[in-house]
Amino acid sequence: MAHQIALGESMPTDPLLLLEQLTAFPHRGAASKSNAKAAEIIVNELKKAEFSVDFQSFRTPPTYLPVIYWLIGGLITGLLTIQWLGWASVILVALFAINGLLYFDWRPSIFLFLPPLVQAKNIIGRHSLPTAKRKLILMAHYDSAPVSSLYSRQSKDGFRNSIRASMVLMALAVPIVGLSYHLPQNNYLLVIRILLSMYFVGQAILGTAVFWQKGYTNGASDNATGVVAALKTAEHLKTQLKNTEIEIVLTNAEEVGMVGAYYYWKSLQRQSQLTDGSLYLINFDTLGSGQLKVITQTGSMTLIEYDNIVTQSAINIIQNNRHFGQVSTGSWHTADFDSAWFVRAGIPCVTLSALDENGLMPHIHRPEDTLDHVDTQPMLLAIDLAKAVALALDKKSYTLSK
DSSP letter for each residue of 229-273: HHHHHHHHHTTT-SSEEEEEEEES-HHHHSHHHHHHHHHHHHTT-
Question: pLDDT, tens digit, for every residue of 7-42?
Answer: 434 567 899 999 999 999 999 999 999 999 999 999
Task: Average the pLDDT over 103-119 and give the result.
Answer: 96
pLDDT for residue 149? 84
pLDDT, tens digit, 9 for 90 and up, residues 218-272: 999 999 999 999 999 999 999 999 999 999 999 999 999 999 999 999 999 888 6
Give residue 6's pLDDT band: very low, low, confident or very high (50, 70, 90). Answer: very low
90: amino acid identity, one letter: V
Share of the chain above pLDDT 70, in %: 93
Question: 325 to each of 230, 306, 328, 361, 376, how far by Cα in Å?
Answer: 22, 21, 8, 20, 17
pLDDT digit string (tens) for 187-224?
999 999 999 999 999 999 988 999 999 999 999 999 99
Q: What is the pTM of this model?
A: 0.94
Q: Looking at residue 1, what is its pLDDT? A: 39
> Residue 277 pLDDT more than 80?
no
Upstream peptide bond of 223 is cis (omega within 30 degrees of 0): yes
pLDDT in tens, 37-93: 999 999 999 999 999 999 999 999 999 999 999 999 999 999 999 999 999 999 999
| Residue 300, pLDDT score | 85
pLDDT for the residue 111: 97
pLDDT for residue 10: 59
**Which residues, 6+ apart, have CB-to-CB distance to 353 below 8 Å?**
284, 285, 286, 287, 292, 293, 295, 330, 332, 337, 361
pLDDT value at position 301?
86
Q: What is the pLDDT of residues 322-376, one digit of tens each?
A: 999 999 999 998 868 999 999 999 999 999 999 999 888 999 999 999 999 999 9
Phi/psi class of residue 258: alpha, beta or left (left: φ > 0; alpha: ψ in -120 to 50)?
left
CB atoms within 10 A of CB 98: 15
